[in-house]
Amino acid sequence: MTLETVCLERAIALRAQLHEMPEASLHEVRTKQVLLDLIDKETNFTAVDRGRWAYAWKKAERSDGRPPIAFRADMDAVCGKDGRPGHFCGHDGHSAILAGLAMELSRREEPLGRDVYLIFQPAEEIGKGAALCAGLLEERGIGEIYGLHNIPGRPRGSVLLRDGTFACASTGLEIAMHGTPSHAAYPEAGRDPGPTLARLLLDVQDLTKRTQETEGFVLMTLIGMDVGSDSYGVAASEGVLRLTVRGEREQSFQRYVAEIRRLAEDAARRDGLELGLRTIEPFPATENHSANVERVRRCARDLGMPVMDLEEPMRWSEDFGVYLHKIPGAFFGIGAGEDYAQLHTTEFQFPDAVIAPAVDLFAVLAR
């Protein structure tokens, strides 16, 4: 099975159109409408607008008793330092692949044996989109779900698989501590959170090493630490430590984060400081189901697509894990090219050559 020329040309044109109209997370208004219009006009799927997100579905023409299957694409763009969105992660290509799948399944003569759902999801970049859409799985009795992400640095069109965790859990942590101000000449009269936050950073580094030894991969990255002000006559009384933490396994990651919170609480209590702790853009681990990974492997090989097994999970995060905590499924990568710009850089643009093999693989999975 190969994607028909007319479907491929339309999918590529759609990708180019979406690329020129990037929208930030939870603001994908025009993007969603373009996708809904294409589904309505160029496929026999039924398009459903759910406000912030949308889905399309096609009823089985000759039901074989299997539960419905779903495929998901993200549609938001990355916001750079200037706050302006751009498709530097390839979600325009992911959405074009799903639209191409709708066109391909609408034209193929082989009848569908089960209902097929296509989820066009917002807000993946901030980890809030999957939670908005996940209720559809139970609502429509969906039995399995698949998604993909393009991966620069890997052979173009190769299928990248991993049993277990494909992408790590992660969250930002903002740990704020408030003490008591004093004249700079009498620092002993106040409470300075600087030393407490510095010791906490070292404690979290030690915790990270211990956790890696006992529970597998975790990582802490220092994002920044701010203490005090530029007023040289006033001793520091406020500070904030910013970390990003990530881990391979959801349960061990949650224990790791809980222990960081305990360390912060103990440190603040010991030194008489007020504590504020905020999590920022939490993502679950994207933990694949073995049977579904093997199904992707068989379908890829049937199509003659090269398959590569990843030894380690991707360190970045993906909110597709929300779906996988509810029903079986698999998330996989498709190579963008070995010498290709990295994700989240202004040089990146989704490679159109990946669209056809990705649609072909989804179409075989939909059988």
346 Cβ neighbours under 8 A, 6+ residues apart = 80, 86, 88
**DSSP assignment, residue 191?**
B
Specify the pLDDT at position 4: 74
Task: Determine the Cα–Cα distance for residues 192 and 236; give it in Å rounded to an integer.
Answer: 5
Give Cβ neighbours of residue 251 (< 8 Å, ≥ 6 apart): none
Nearest Cα residue to 313 out of 197, 217, 207: 217
Per-residue model confidence as pLDDT tens for the chain (367 residues): 567 788 899 999 999 999 999 999 999 999 999 999 999 999 999 999 999 999 999 999 998 999 999 999 999 999 988 889 999 999 999 999 999 999 999 998 889 999 999 999 999 999 999 999 999 999 999 999 999 999 999 999 999 999 999 999 999 999 999 999 999 999 999 999 999 999 999 999 999 999 999 999 999 999 999 999 999 999 999 999 999 999 999 999 999 999 999 999 999 999 999 999 999 999 999 999 999 999 999 999 999 999 999 999 999 999 999 999 999 999 999 999 999 999 999 999 999 999 999 999 999 999 9
Residue-level pLDDT at 2: 66
Q: Which residues of 30-43 are buried (b: 16+ CB within 10 A; e: fewer)?
A: ebbebbbebbeebb
Q: What pLDDT does residue 1 have?
A: 52
Determine the Cα–Cα distance for residues 90 and 343; give it in Å rounded to an integer. 8
- Using alpha carbons only, what angle is made at residue 172 by residues 284 and 192, rounded to the nearest 5 degrees? 150
The DSSP secondary structure of 140-190, one letter per residue, reads: TT--EEEEEEEEETB-TT-EEE-SSEEE-EEEEEEEEEE-B--BTT-GGGS
